[in-house]
């Protein structure tokens, strides 16, 4: 049986520096030849608030070149042309990515990825960016206050930059690194600079965290309603009310549907061909499929059919691509029924195990979204920690997605996708309403990213699509923008600012920005 499905789809991809096909939906031209003007906006003190997108996070890490290419920094350079001031960034030390905690590497942070011609892989080299470096704090304050991982309510937390909170997750090392102390919120930090103009793009992680954990409940969606620091409506109102309290103008953006990003669109629901299962040997794969049908899928199909749930499982095909085996917690649990059905042939103990494993199992369909990170789990052996049963299953039930169901954390099922869309729509309604009531420029990021995902957009004669690796919009983590993607986003923010405040900022040529960063920077 196949042992490694990692990067199954990428083995045939060839790295390209740019793309320019003729299938776009929209063409953008940011040059009109008219003189530059700030309009009614005052960019002399621009402060950016947000999460990883604001900071320039890319390819799974925060690193110096990525920070330089952040949409916020691109915007700030355009603001300078019409009276904008300096835009200070809490730069990391290198282009490796990753963080040091008192000199110790934490593998949860970086390094960044690069495309080696076959697959995204980590760059080599040690990280050199220390979280507890007082010189970084002393060099502040910084105009870019974007904090990777931040949710909306985190910007209000006075302890989000407290080193003592790292152990229990109430603080964030990216903010600890430049926060002036452990009692100043990100919002207070920004307001302490008396901004004349601000950008706010927050809320993505309020839904994205739930999505990237497969909706397994470990990272819940923020409630739509509640007091500041609890519900999205109260929190967002507190943010924009405070930011505009001194007369500052600003621009805000809404939240894209998670279904428009490669993290949820790259791994197919049905990658199990005879060739794949046979590791390139179709004969071996065919024999394996026949054995699976006789020993597992056939008996499961027969038992489930008896209980009126035969559609959950179908026999595998030796000639077509087959779907992954997954757990769907929204299904009625038939563990007891399956245990009873298998006891005569398997014995009570083994039958009970089969019942527990397959009580909510089904084959994936096109309405399911397999996470990008699940790619490395397909065909891997479940462990006691990730099997969902507290024990590692024995052979032959030791192959995720083939003989053992992928778990909740691996796949977004339709009910979870609906939850995410409902929450995103609610959050976006709140953002638009407050943008209108406070006189802010508004960026419909959800609309343009949906367009990028559905036909593409042409900017400066280059097609921007959501295709993983080669699409030009997203980086290798499948979530954050590429260099060109950030430039495109900067232009969309600038368009909104021009429309609202009568400015005439020109934007940048996205063709001058790479699709992906190379191994060496």
- On the question of pLDDT at 97 being above 60, the answer is yes
- On the question of pLDDT at 17 being above 60, the answer is no
Based on the fold, state whether residues 329 and 396 are members of the same structural domain.
yes
Please give the average per-residue pLDDT across 360-369, as a whole number. 98
Strands 249-253 and 441-443: parallel
Q: What is the pLDDT of residues 150-161, one digit of tens each?
A: 999 999 999 999
Is residue 420 included in any domain, yes or no? no
CB neighbours of 127 closer than 8 A, spacing ≥ 6?
A: 94, 96, 97, 98, 99, 100, 105, 109, 110, 111
Based on the fold, state whether residues 253 and 298 are members of the same structural domain.
no
Provide DSSP, 294-326. Answer: IIIIHHHHHHHHHTT-GGG--PPPSSS-BPPEE
Model pLDDT, residue 34: 81
Based on the fold, state whether residues 438 and 471 are members of the same structural domain.
yes
Q: What is the pLDDT of residues 215-245, one digit of tens each?
A: 999 999 999 999 999 999 999 999 999 999 9
Based on the fold, state whether residues 382 and 484 are members of the same structural domain.
no
Q: What is the pLDDT of residues 336-346, one digit of tens each?
A: 999 999 999 99
- On the question of pLDDT at 386 being above 90, the answer is yes
Q: What is the pLDDT of residues 115-151, one digit of tens each?
A: 999 999 999 999 999 999 999 999 999 999 999 999 9
Confidence of residue 32 (pLDDT cuts 50, 70, 90): low
Based on the fold, state whether residues 164 and 48 are members of the same structural domain.
yes
Is residue 107 included in any domain, yes or no? yes
Compute the half-sphere exposure of residue 191: CA atoms within 13 Å on the CB side of its CA: 17
Share above pLDDT 90 across residues of the chain, in percent, rounded to a whole number: 93
The torsion defined by the Cα of 6, 9, 12 and 16, in degrees rounded to 10, comes to -100
- Tokens found for residue 289: 């499929």
- On the question of pLDDT at 181 being above 60, the answer is yes
Based on the fold, state whether residues 232 and 296 are members of the same structural domain.
no
- Coil, strand or helix: which one is 23? coil
The boundaries of the domain holding residue 184 are: 27-265+433-512
Please give the average per-residue pLDDT across 29-33, as a whole number. 56
Based on the fold, state whether residues 317 and 249 are members of the same structural domain.
no
Is residue 279 included in any domain, yes or no? no
Model pLDDT, residue 33: 73
Compute the half-sphere exposure of residue 286: CA atoms within 13 Å on the CB side of its CA: 5
Model pLDDT, residue 504: 96
What number of other Cβ atoms are within 10 A of residue 364's Cβ?
A: 25
Please give the average per-residue pLDDT across 407-428, as a whole number. 98
Based on the fold, state whether residues 408 and 439 are members of the same structural domain.
no
- On the question of pLDDT at 458 being above 60, the answer is yes
Based on the fold, state whether residues 218 and 306 are members of the same structural domain.
no
Is residue 346 included in any domain, yes or no? yes
Please give the average per-residue pLDDT across 5-27, as a whole number. 36
CB neighbours of 482 closer than 8 A, spacing ≥ 6?
A: 58, 472, 473, 474, 475, 513, 514, 515, 516
Q: What is the domain count for the chain?
A: 2
Based on the fold, state whether residues 209 and 336 are members of the same structural domain.
no
Please give the average per-residue pLDDT across 81-97, as a whole number. 98
Looking at every residue in the chain, the average pLDDT score rounds to 93
Based on the fold, state whether residues 34 and 110 are members of the same structural domain.
yes
CB 456 within 8 A of CB 23: yes
Between CA 156 and CA 228 the distance in angstroms is 8
Based on the fold, state whether residues 404 and 440 are members of the same structural domain.
no
- CATH code of residue 464: 3.40.50.1110
Does residue 303 have a cis peptide bond before it, meaning omega lies within 30 degrees of 0? no
Model pLDDT, residue 31: 54
- Tokens found for residue 371: 């996470």
Confidence of residue 84 (pLDDT cuts 50, 70, 90): very high
Confidence of residue 110 (pLDDT cuts 50, 70, 90): confident
- On the question of pLDDT at 318 being above 60, the answer is yes
């Amino acid at each position: 049986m196949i042992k490694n499905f990692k990067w199954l789809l990428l083995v045939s991809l060839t790295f390209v520096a740019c793309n320019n096909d003729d299938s776009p939906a929209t063409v953008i031209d940011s040059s009109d030849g008219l003189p530059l003007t700030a309009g009614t906006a005052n960019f002399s003190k621009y402060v950016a608030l947000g999460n990883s997108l604001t900071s320039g996070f890319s390819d799974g890490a925060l690193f110096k070149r990525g920070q330089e290419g952040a949409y916020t920094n691109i915007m700030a350079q355009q603001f300078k042309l019409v009276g904008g001031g300096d835009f200070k960034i809490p730069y990391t030390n290198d282009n490796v990515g990753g963080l040091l905690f008192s000199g110790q590497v934490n593998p949860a942070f970086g390094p960044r990825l690069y495309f080696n011609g076959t697959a995204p892989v980590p760059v080599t080299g040690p990280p050199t960016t220390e979280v507890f470096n007082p010189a970084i704090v002393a060099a502040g304050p910084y105009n870019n206050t974007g904090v990777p991982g931040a949710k909306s309510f985190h910007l209000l937390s006075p302890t989000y930059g407290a080193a003592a909170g790292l152990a229990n997750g109430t603080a964030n090392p990216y903010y600890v690194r430049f926060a002036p102390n452990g009692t100043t919120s990100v919002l207070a930090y920004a307001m302490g600079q008396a901004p004349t103009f601000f950008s706010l793009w927050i809320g993505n992680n309020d839904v994205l965290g739930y999505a990237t954990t497969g909706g397994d409940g470990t990272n819940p969606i923020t409630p739509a309603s509640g007091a500041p620091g609890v519900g999205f409506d109260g929190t967002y109102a507190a943010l924009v009310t405070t930011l505009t309290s001194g007369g500052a103008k600003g621009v805000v953006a809404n939240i894209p549907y998670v279904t428009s990003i490669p993290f949820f669109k790259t791994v197919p629901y049905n990658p199990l061909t005879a060739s794949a299962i046979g590791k390139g040997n179709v004969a071996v794969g065919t024999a394996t499929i026949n054995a699976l049908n006789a020993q597992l899928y056939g008996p499961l199909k027969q038992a489930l059919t008896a209980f009126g749930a035969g559609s959950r499982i179908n026999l595998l095909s030796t000639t077509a691509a087959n779907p992954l085996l997954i757990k769907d917690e929204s299904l009625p649990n038939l563990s007891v029924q399956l245990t009873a059905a298998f006891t005569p042939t398997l014995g009570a103990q083994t039958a009970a195990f089969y019942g527990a494993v397959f009580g909510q199992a089904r084959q994936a369909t096109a309405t399911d979204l397999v996470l990008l990170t699940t790619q490395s789990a397909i065909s891997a052996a479940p462990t006691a920690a990730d099997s969902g049963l507290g024990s590692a299953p024995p052979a032959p039930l030791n192959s995720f997605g083939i003989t053992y169901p992928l778990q909740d954390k691996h796949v977004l099922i339709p009910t979870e996708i609906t939850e995410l869309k409902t929450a995103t729509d609610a959050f976006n309604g709140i953002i638009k309403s407050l943008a209108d009531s406070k006189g802010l420029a508004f960026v419909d990021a959800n609309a343009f990213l949906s367009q990028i995902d559905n036909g593409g957009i042409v900017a400066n004669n280059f097609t921007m699509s959501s295709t993983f690796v080669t699409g030009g919009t997203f980086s290798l983590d499948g979530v954050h923008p590429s260099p060109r993607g950030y430039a495109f986003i900067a232009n969309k923010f600038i368009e909104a600012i021009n429309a609202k405040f009568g400015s005439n900022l020109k934007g940048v040529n996205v063709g001058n920005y790479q699709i992906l960063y190379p191994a060496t920077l």
